[in-house]
Amino acid sequence: MWPWFLTFGVLTLTTYGMIWHSHTEFRKAVNDMSGLICMRCGYVLKDLHDSGRCPECGEPYEFATLRREWGALLGCTLGSDTMDHGRSSA
């Protein structure tokens, strides 16, 4: 019984670590792009106009709305150098 439990525990912890790492990397990528990523398809809109349609999927966007939505989804403030998790940097 012990080897099965040990194997299950190791696999569970490994899976949790991989999920946590990928989530952290995703948050960093969204923050690096200042939240200017299409919510529908993930296309980087950083070098486009402040509003328009995503060239990849046609979804309408506005930069202010994207930053607010990604920030709410990830629980952080976007557009700054660090993710401050909703706390003001002042």
Residue at 58: amino acid letter: G
CA 12 from chain center: how many Å? 23
pTM: 0.59
Give 76-90 pLDDT, tens digit per residue. Answer: 777 643 334 343 444
Domain carrying residue 60: 2-74
60 within domain boundaries: yes
Query: In total, how many domains does the chain have?
Result: 1
80 within domain boundaries: no
Rounded to a whole number, what is the distance in angstroms from the first to the last CA of the chain? 55
Please answer whether residues 36 and 45 qualify as being in contact, where contact means their C-beta atoms are separated by less than 8 angstroms. yes
Please answer whether residues 63 and 51 qualify as being in contact, where contact means their C-beta atoms are separated by less than 8 angstroms. yes
Give 22-33 pLDDT, tens digit per residue. Answer: 667 777 878 788
